Amino acid sequence: MSSSRDEIKTTSLIQGHVELFRLMFSHLKSQALRCAGNLGIPGAIHRRGGAATISDIITETGLPQSKLQHLRRLMRVLAVSGVVAASNQPPSSAAESCTGDTIYTLTPVSSLLVGGEGASPFDMSALLRALMRPTTTAMFFHLEEWFRDDTGAESLVHMVHGSSPWTLTKNDTTLNTALNDACVADTNLVMQVVLTEAGDVFRGIGSLVDVGGGHGAAAIAISRAFPQVKCTVLDLPHVISQAPEHSTVQFVAGDMFDFIPPADAIFLKGVMDSFSDEDCVKLLRQCKKAIHRDSAGGKIIIINSVIGFGPQDDVVREAQVLFDLYMMCGNGAEQEEHEWKRIILEAGFSEFKVVATLGLVSVIEVLP
């Protein structure tokens, strides 16, 4: 006689057990990444010509020798996560074969985290610092509480901090600076890709307003690539007041739900996903009022994720849906194609087209 206990295949028990441990401790992957970035490990490897042993990393980062064995374990997690690549050099002596002589090299991820001297022009350290702040990470410990909450808290941010994300940045200068710097870092990288792979979307435009444009990284990149486009950045007063002046880009402080300066084209990068669907429709209606309808370039260009669209692999999909859960904390969302379509058509636009998909983000063109 067999009990149902016996019927559960040992293979699926083993698989479940392994997966459970892997997933339970996945947050340690992200903490290992943050720790490595803050310790300057990518920079240390870079300064050693892109290949370093544990001893090299200890020397370059100035960490105590007593942490060498522990650092080896951190590096092993980073290697398993793809943050660094590890290869074994044949030992040159018996003594070395005991201490191990793994060589760590940079991967596409850690190449983006080489801060300081020799940093890549696409240094994303600021993104890591802003999005992985302990107060932000800690907010997710309240996720279960928020799901159970029936008192109408608008979002997890509201429930934990008692205000909207943008009121938080207004009242916390350190957070404001961290987020603005993170946006510049992300925008520098994304605009390099967009202008190279889908730059045609800006052709024929005479003027453009980057709505929620932060410190103007996108507008500066666009005006550099297309000097004939007159670029304006609109953002909240506490963001604009910290923005560096620029000779070709004009900065305007204001609330996009009140007024958007008129232009041929409106540009929205990383903005629509910060708001509820209802606010997205409101925002798009505001954009529609601002567009010069008779101009050839009259359109909205949106840079954001379109979940599940275009060439997808598991890594892209995982990054998109994790990012969506992150944005949910402030009542924002990453959208699927049919959700974008619904929001855009509801705002009174006639055409919506995904022009290009470039990893995490797509370029969306919306016509009046």
Please report, as ranges, the residues that interact with ligand SAH according to CB under 6 A: 166, 183, 186-187, 212-214, 234-236, 239, 255-257, 269-271, 274
With tokens 């190449």, the residue in question is 111
C-beta closer to ligand SAH: residue 81 or 177: 177
Going from the C-alpha of 302 to that of each of 18, 159, 200, 269, 276, the distances in angstroms are: 41, 29, 14, 6, 16
H/E segment holding residue 73: helix 68-80
CB burial readout 137-150, b (16+ within 10 A) else e? eebeeeeeebeeee
Strand-by-strand arrangement of the 84-88 sheet: 51-52, 102-106, 84-88
Is residue 230 within 8 A of residue 200, CB to CB? The reply is: no
d(CA 201, CA 217): 18
Give residue number: closest CB to ligand SAH: 212
CB burial readout 102-132, b (16+ within 10 A) else e? bbbbbbebbbbbbbeeebbeebbbbbbbbbb
C-beta closer to ligand SAH: residue 61 or 357: 357
C-beta closer to ligand SAH: residue 43 or 270: 270
C-beta closer to ligand SAH: residue 79 or 253: 253
